Amino acid sequence: MATFNESLVEFLTRVEGAYGLGAQLPPVLDLVKATGLTAAGNQLAYTDFFTQTYGRKVWDVLNNQTKGFNILRKVPFGTTVGWRNRSARNASTSPVLENTNLPSVNKQTYQQIWSPPRAVVTMLGVTEQAQYLAGLEGGIGDALAVEQEFAALDHVKDINQQIFAKNDVVVTTAGASLTAVVEPFTNLRVGDVIDGGTNAEQEVVTSRAITTGKHGFTKISGAPITNFVDNDTCVVLGRGGITSLEDIVEVDGRTRPGNNSEDNLAYNWGVLPGSATNGAAARTADSFNAGYVVDNDGVPVFLETEMLDEAIRKIRERGGEPDIIISGFDQLDRVDQLLQGQRRYMPEATFQVKRGGEATLPGFQSGFQLATYRGVPWFPDVDVAKSWYHPADVYTEQGSNVLVLDTRWLEMAVASMTRYFESRDYLQNDMLGIKAMFFTYLELRCLDVRKQAKITDLKTV
């Protein structure tokens, strides 16, 4: 058995000796006996005859889980572009006394929500040279196939991230378009419509810098475009991409971190790039289009079971029945810790809940692991939006939000299932290479916002 402290020459000597050669090594191996060679040395180092090769396998170290997208039910988009909500009862019901007139005729109140499908595209491609070289020794094989494999994963991952995208940002560096810095800047996409904070104009995102936070903005309504003000909170009013759960479970008038001069706004369905008008009504508390938000006026606190109980109770008071809780892994750990004391009163068992191809974390016999809270399955997703805090102009990311949902009223409406397009026409591509894309046309719809809740302004564990 080889030892770990022998040199290369000693190892070769022993191996060759097994074939009867003994120490009769080729003369060239005398050149590699020395260690610690100087630049002026004439002996060969391992780098003179060894070339690093990495093989054809590419190990993906990124988290590609898409639990939220998997859980939500998928339905055909259908032949309509929105839906109606009944927001008020017929108020004519009344006792009628003998010989009195009948009550006046009244009617229900109906609201219209416009929610068109949104296009999501992932582009990929390889040059002719890259495709050829990838097939040589040390290459990854079919470079286009590798790009296709990972682009397909990234396409669905991006949809999942859009589903959980946060619906506000804070200006951390004042300035104009392409100068101001907003965070968390990865949540803004091209086509998103935001309010301009103190300046009260509405802006549409025209370019996205996901590493610097210096997005491009164009004014579409309000006062003349001015610089973004430091520490301003800017709320997302509309999406160029998919409506997120954070957009859906929102309400006007709540206090957020940062300056709050414009924080009375909330997301409005139907706002598309270049337009600041839509048919959506104000989303005041308890109105037909307002979700229930448990917050702490922008100041982060630790999640408590009382907050979960409040969210569940409010959904039930509005006629719903929560069937899913989604958060980051941090809040799942937090509730594990809060409920750890109950373990002594519970039998040891393995318990797991499955939904939409995804499963909760199982409970193990060796310890306490949360699968449900009050009978509601709890699913962790790494893409769930995080709370944030910005005291003294210092942006600090906090713990993940908690979404308490009645998914009977939530659906992914698919107008076009994911398709793959490819072009090998060099003239059309204007390059010596192959261009391709994945394309999906869909929208996240919530037919009853009142039966959804979220808990925000949370610290991490």
Contact between 191 and 241 under an 8 Å Cβ cutoff? The reply is yes
- According to DSSP, the β-strands at 82-88 and 453-455 are unpaired
Q: Among candidates 173, 304, 165, 295, which has minimal Cα distance to 235?
A: 165
Q: Per the structure block, which two tokens stand in for 13?
A: 């000597």
Task: Enumerate the H helices of 194-280 as residue ranges.
Answer: 245-248
Residue 13 within a domain: yes
Residue 42 within a domain: yes
Residue 35 within a domain: yes
β partners of residue 430: none
Low-confidence ranges of the chain (pLDDT < 50): 2, 33-38, 278-279, 364-367
Q: What is the residue whose two structure tokens read 């941090």?
A: 330
Using CA atoms, how far residue 110 sits from 85, 88, 261, in Å, is 6, 7, 31
Q: Per the structure block, which two tokens stand in for 266?
A: 């909330």
Residue 230 within a domain: no
Residue 211 within a domain: no
Would the pTM of this model clear 0.85, i.e. be above it?
no
Would you state the pLDDT for residue 274?
58
Q: Per the structure block, which two tokens stand in for 68?
A: 């939220």
Residue 248 within a domain: no
Q: Per the structure block, which two tokens stand in for 142?
A: 């079919």
272 burial class (0-12, 13-18, 19+ CB within 10 angstroms)?
middle
Containing H/E element for 159?
helix 143-163
> In angstroms, how far is CA 307 from the centroid of its own chain?
23
Would you state the pLDDT for residue 365?
44
Would you state the pLDDT for residue 349?
54
Q: Among candidates 458, 456, 461, which has minimal Cα distance to 300?
A: 458
The range of the structural domain enclosing residue 38 comes to 8-48
Would you state the pLDDT for residue 305?
93
Q: Per the structure block, which two tokens stand in for 325?
A: 């809780």
Q: Per the structure block, which two tokens stand in for 434?
A: 């192959």
- According to DSSP, the β-strands at 216-221 and 118-127 are unpaired
Q: Is 428 helix (H, G, I), strand (E, B) or coil?
A: helix
**DSSP one-letter code for 225:** P
Question: Which residue type does 408 have?
Answer: R
Q: Quote the CA–CA distance of 94 and 237 in Å, as a whole number.
A: 41
341 burial class (0-12, 13-18, 19+ CB within 10 angstroms)?
exposed
Using CA atoms, how far residue 277 sits from 34, 40, 85, 314, in Å, is 77, 75, 20, 31
Q: How many domains does the chain have?
A: 1
Residue 77 within a domain: no
Q: Quote the CA–CA distance of 126 and 371 in Å, as a whole number.
A: 44
Q: Quote the CA–CA distance of 209 and 47 in Å, as a whole number.
A: 40
Contact between 414 and 76 under an 8 Å Cβ cutoff? The reply is yes
Q: Quote the CA–CA distance of 28 and 408 in Å, as a whole number.
A: 75
Residue 39 within a domain: yes
Would you state the pLDDT for residue 394?
79
Number of Cβ within a 10 Å radius of residue 154 = 16
